[in-house]
């Protein structure tokens, strides 16, 4: 679909979602769903608030929240411009995972005000999906909310993206006869997605990961690092800096979560034999698949649905939240993420260079995610 077509469709529909009743409204049940009967439900919840998930929609509803500071590849375009993206996420939650979700944008980019606003509305929701909030504020906001709230709080630009990247790498390394733990990985882009990917690769046992930002390699000898980047430098153990070109020489895997055009053919040519390239910038990738393949890449993935191997967090968040709800757990752990990535990868029984990850429409995705989250929750609790 072209951009004019998308604009026309949004204008025609006036958005992508709406509220629908779970039962037909009749003269008889009006007295039960609203006054006077609803008062009995409110009385019960006043004395037994723990029954909220049983008696209200809130128990299966996610708030999809953004401040508009990092929308897709568009940058800080503000809360109003973020609404169509948040609506899309809500639509996908329901269509793919059977989870109710509602888009909420905030007219502030101050972390204290964002935390206060989300904490105030939290009783209406069973989970919080932070979306398109720029680094480094996104890290602080997520961590503070996880401490203050007893429901799952997930910044899926970090965690869901990392899960689907790891799933794709499991099959890509299998096809290129690599052991993922021993591969040299370069991650270009040190924002929310890059941070989440580096941390999950580390949890998966990958020994050599180099993170690169707009100023070069994120290393321990740099004096300009934020708190989060310094923590990532300590995690990767990279002691001395260098340029992106330096980092990519001889690398097995290159993952881009940065900006369009960041990779060039010479970068791919300087990698190890049969390199794996994930160019995930949206809406335009760091390098087009045909250019990467011509330069020698064995497997190429992007974040787009119109190219093979779409590495997109839509594969994860509907089933992830559904799994957390069904497992009755309020925290997403590394064990959950590793299990989810493995489950996603195993859906593809016979991976090929153009099929390393399932389609978002694959009916096996959400059930696999739910099972993986449930099994991991049992292991964590044991």
Active site positions, annotated:
34, 89
Q: How far apart are CA 148 and CA 144, in angstroms?
A: 6
- Name the residue with tokens 């690169």: 212
Q: How far apart are CA 91 and CA 88, in angstroms?
A: 5
The 8-class DSSP code of residue 352 comes to: B
Both tokens assigned to 55: 């008696």
| Cα–Cα distances in angstroms (integers) from residue 167 to residues 174, 270, 338, 358, in the given order | 11, 25, 9, 10
Q: How far apart are CA 204 and CA 153, in angstroms?
A: 22
Q: How far apart are CA 370 and CA 376, in angstroms?
A: 10
> Is residue 86 within 8 Å of residue 103, measured between CB atoms?
yes
CA-nearest of 310, 257, 312 to 279 is 257
Q: What is the largest CA-CA distance in the chain?
A: 73
The 8-class DSSP code of residue 311 comes to: -
What is the sign of the dihedral through the CA atoms of 198, 202, 204 and 206? positive
What is the sign of the dihedral through the CA atoms of 351, 356, 358 and 364? positive
What is the CB neighbour count within 10 angstroms for residue 378?
A: 11
Cα 374 → chain centroid:
19
The strand pairing partners of 299, in sequence order, are 276
| Cα–Cα distances in angstroms (integers) from residue 340 to residues 111, 189, 211, 335, in the given order | 30, 23, 24, 9
Both tokens assigned to 69: 């500071």
> Is residue 32 within 8 Å of residue 40, measured between CB atoms?
no
What is the CB neighbour count within 10 angstroms for residue 106?
A: 18
């Amino acid at each position: 679909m072209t951009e004019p077509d998308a604009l026309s469709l949004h204008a025609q529909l006036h958005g992508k979602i709406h509220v629908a009743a779970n039962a037909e409204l009749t003269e008889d049940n009006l007295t039960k769903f609203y006054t006077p009967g609803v008062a009995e439900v409110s009385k019960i919840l006043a004395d037994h608030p723990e029954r909220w998930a049983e008696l209200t929609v809130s128990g299966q509803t996610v708030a999809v929240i953004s401040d508009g500071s990092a929308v897709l590849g568009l940058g800080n375009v503000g809360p109003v411009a973020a609404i169509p993206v948040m609506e899309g996420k809500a639509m996908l939650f329901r269509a793919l995972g059977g989870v109710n979700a509602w888009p909420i944008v905030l007219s502030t980019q101050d972390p204290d005000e964002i935390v206060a606003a989300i904490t105030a509305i939290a009783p209406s929701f069973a989970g919080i999906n932070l979306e398109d909030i720029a680094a480094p504020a996104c890290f602080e906001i997520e961590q503070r909310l996880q401490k203050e709230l007893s429901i799952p709080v997930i910044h899926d630009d970090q965690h869901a993206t990392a899960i689907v990247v790891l799933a794709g790498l499991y099959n890509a390394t299998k096809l290129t006869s690599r052991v993922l733990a021993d591969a040299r990985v370069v991650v270009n882009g040190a924002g929310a997605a890059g941070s989440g990917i580096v941390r999950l690769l580390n949890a998966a046992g990958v020994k050599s990961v180099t993170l690169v930002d707009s100023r070069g390699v994120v290393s321990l000898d740099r004096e300009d690092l934020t708190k989060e980047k310094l923590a990532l430098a300590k995690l990767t153990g990279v002691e001395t800096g260098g340029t992106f070109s330096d980092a990519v020489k001889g690398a097995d895997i290159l993952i881009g979560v940065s900006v369009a055009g960041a990779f060039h053919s010479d970068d791919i040519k300087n990698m190890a034999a049969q390199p794996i390239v994930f160019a995930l910038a949206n809406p335009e990738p760091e390098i087009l698949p045909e250019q990467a393949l011509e330069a020698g890449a064995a497997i190429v993935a992007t974040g787009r649905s119109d190219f093979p191997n779409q590495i997109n967090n839509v594969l994860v968040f509907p089933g992830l939240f559904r799994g957390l709800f069904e497992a009755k757990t309020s925290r997403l752990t590394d064990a959950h993420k590793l299990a989810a990535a493995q489950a996603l990868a195993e859906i593809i029984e016979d991976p090929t260079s153009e099929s390393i990850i399932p389609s978002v429409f694959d009916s096996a995705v959400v059930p696999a995610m739910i099972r993986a989250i449930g099994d991991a929750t049992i292991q964590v609790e044991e």
